Structure 1
Amino acid sequence: MGLKIKFNLVMLAAFIVGLALAAAYSWRVAEETARSEVEQLASVMLEEANAVRHYTDAQIGPLLAEQNQLHFLPQTIPFYAAETTMRALGEKFPDYGYKEAALNPTNPADQATEWEAGMIDAFRRNPTLTSLTITRGSPTGPILSIARPVRITDKDCLGCHATPQMAPAAMVDLYGAKNGFGWELGAVQGAQIVSVPMQVPLAHARQQLLTQVGGLAVVFAVMLVMLNLLLHYVVVRPIRRMSLLAEEVSTGRTGLPEFDANGKDEIASLAASFNRMRRSVEGAMRLLET
């Protein structure tokens, strides 16, 4: 196996190992960046929902308070307003979602699914927990969901959710007397949950990784070609010439031209040593002939 083949094999092995390590690190960074972008988007959606809730509670509710006594208007409920507004986003972007899930909701549409109930239970088990993030699978790819607890801190809420007898009659007529009652002050009854797909950010991360890996491969190929040229002209070719001269000298030929030993590198030093050895061999052969 020639020197160039050995050199290229070592370089190729080093490149493969280095590329694998660089790709693993780059993918980790790109994945974390994608996740951070999704979390930021989910946080913005949560704040938008809270803005709708606050507006409904401060502006819409008082404005329709009298009509609400005669005929219950869900539009005056902050939760309902936020979900209805954010649902319009889901119609255009199906994988984006917002829900105020509850274990015992007044509106059956707000009933928590199994994974949503798990997040609500986590808030109940840990009262100091203010936010929870999970990643779950879906047919279109992973989806990141961020939840915040819905804790009953206002006594006025119990007027609608303590018992059917205390609740507005119009609300009971609309939703019935079986759901949404028995809530307790200070207890976690549900969670605001925003879901954002990670498919697009992860696709961008993969594309970025492929671009980086491709760039590294091109750089390595160029470096390998340049190193091979350097190896050929500076090391391999001079050594081959010295090998041919050594073979000629070993057969007894004399009067051969000296090897060009210009330069101050290791090859030049080797060439100078070779020339001295050749002269010594020729001198010894002449002495033997005489």
Structure 2
Amino acid sequence: MFLQRLKLGPKFNLLLALVFIGGFIISGLALSNVLESRAKNEVTSKALILIQTMNSVRDYTSTNLQPLLNPRLDTDSTFIPETVPAYSATEVFQRVRKTDPYKDFFYKEATLDPTNLRDKADSFEADLVDKFRKDSNTKELSGFRDLPGGQVFYIARPLSVQKESCLRCHSTPDKAPRSQIATYGAENGFNWKLNDIVAAQLISVPAEEVLNNARQSLVMIMSILLAVFLAIVAVINYLLKRSVIHPIRQMARTAESVSMGHMEEEFRQTSRDEIGALAAAFNRMKSSLEISMNLLNKKH
């Protein structure tokens, strides 16, 4: 009933607005998912580059630094942590974080039983390691997790014992360097085996950064869509008034004039579309009406 009381222009605009609002909501939801996925991919791409960099640091440490420093592990009174690839990678990453693009990134080699308890995996990280152990085909995990400081987006990869040289410090306490036992004790970081997955290499970034990137892109795109819609509505309204509403109003005025006896009025036919066909039909009806009235007047 409400629509029936509206004029053609407002009725058309209302229906068009309803269609647009529905499409706008559906598009917004779809775009939100797409843009969030894109933001994740951008962060993941950066994270993977950093992981490759940290792996290069690890490889350099085990290949170049360990052979130079290993002889001192049994003679020095304290352990030299720079011989440990995980330590070197973590320290290098702390320096990387001093640059703006990576200041919000965090790196950890979350280990189930580490020598240095700084690398101890929490329950969430331990679950990741367990997933890597249960499925050797899983090479990467990512997602969101909640921390006391807020939600973060993480990327994790498995770390396994790939070199025999690692077992010098991690097989049994009696084979470990004396400086290691003196510094860290004989309780942690032992009974590792070759090719065992012992840790998860994680890089995380505050989720707000990921979500903000998606929100900013979404707001920009939806604003453009809204502007385009308003422009389209303005053009359609102009064309509707010019091509439909104005001719119909003219015909309504002519019909009213004819009904008052002004038979000289003509329904203007300015186009060959449906509006033009309607005007032609009205003119034929007026002519027929005029002939009928003339015949009726002659009889009287």
Shared fold (TM-score, shorter chain, > 0.5): yes
Q: Any conservation in 1 of the 2:73–2:178 contact (CA below 8 Å)?
A: no
Match of 2:266 among 246, 258, 261: 258
Deviation at 1:172, TM superposition (A): 0.2
2:118 matched residue in structure 1? 109
Residue equivalent to 2:190: 181
Q: How has the CA–CA distance of structure 1 residues 198 and 37 changed in structure 2, closer, same or farther, with 3 Å as cutoff?
A: farther
**Quick one: percent identity of the two aligned structures?**
38
Task: Describe the shift of the 1:152–1:7 C-alpha distance in structure 2 as closer, same or farther (beyond 3 A).
Answer: same
**Correspondent of 2:15 among 3, 10, 15:** 10
Deviation at 1:11, TM superposition (A): 0.9
C-alpha contact 2:263 2:286 (8 A) present in aligned 1: no
- 1:11-90 map, 5 Å: 11-71=16-76, 72-90=79-97
Q: Is the 8 A contact 2:254 2:265 kept in 1?
A: no
| Cα distance, 1:245 vs structure 2 | 2.4
**Residue 258 of structure 2 contacts residue 265 of structure 2 at CA under 8 Å; is this kept in 1?**
no
**What secondary structure sits across from 2:175 in the alignment?**
coil
* Residues 24-48 of structure 1 deviation map (CA, whole Å, 9 limit, x = unaligned): 2222221111111111111111111
TM-score, normalised to structure 2, is 0.88
How has the CA–CA distance of structure 1 residues 254 and 192 changed in structure 2, closer, same or farther, with 3 Å as cutoff?
closer
Aligned residues: 289
Once the two structures are superposed, the pairs formed by residues 234-249 of structure 1 within 5 Å of their partners are 234-249=243-258
Please state how far the C-alpha of 1:140 moved relative to its aligned partner.
Answer: 6.3
Deviation at 1:6, TM superposition (A): 1.7
Q: 1:63 to 1:156 in 2, by over 3 A?
A: closer
Please report the TM-score for the alignment, with normalisation by the length of structure 1: 0.91
CA distance in 1, matches of 2:98, 2:242: 67
The C-alpha deviation readout for 1:44-70, integer Å capped at 9, x for no partner, is 111111111111112222222332321
Partner of 1:163: 172
Contact preservation (8 Å) 2:73, 2:177: no
Q: Secondary structure at the match of 1:64?
A: helix
After superposition, the Cα gap between the structure-2 partners of 1:204 and 1:158, relative to the gap in structure 1 and judged at 3 Å, is closer
Contact 1:34/1:198 (8 A) holds in 2:
no
Q: Which residue of 1 aligns with 2:280?
A: 272
1:166-204 residue CA offsets vs partner (Å, 9 max, x unmatched): 111111001111111222333222222221334334322
Alpha-carbon distance in structure 1 between the residues aligned to 2:130 and 2:21: 47
Give me the whole-angstrom Cα distance separating, in 2, the residues matched to 1:149 and 1:106.
Answer: 18
CA distance in 2, matches of 1:135, 1:8: 43
Match of residue 3 from structure 2: none
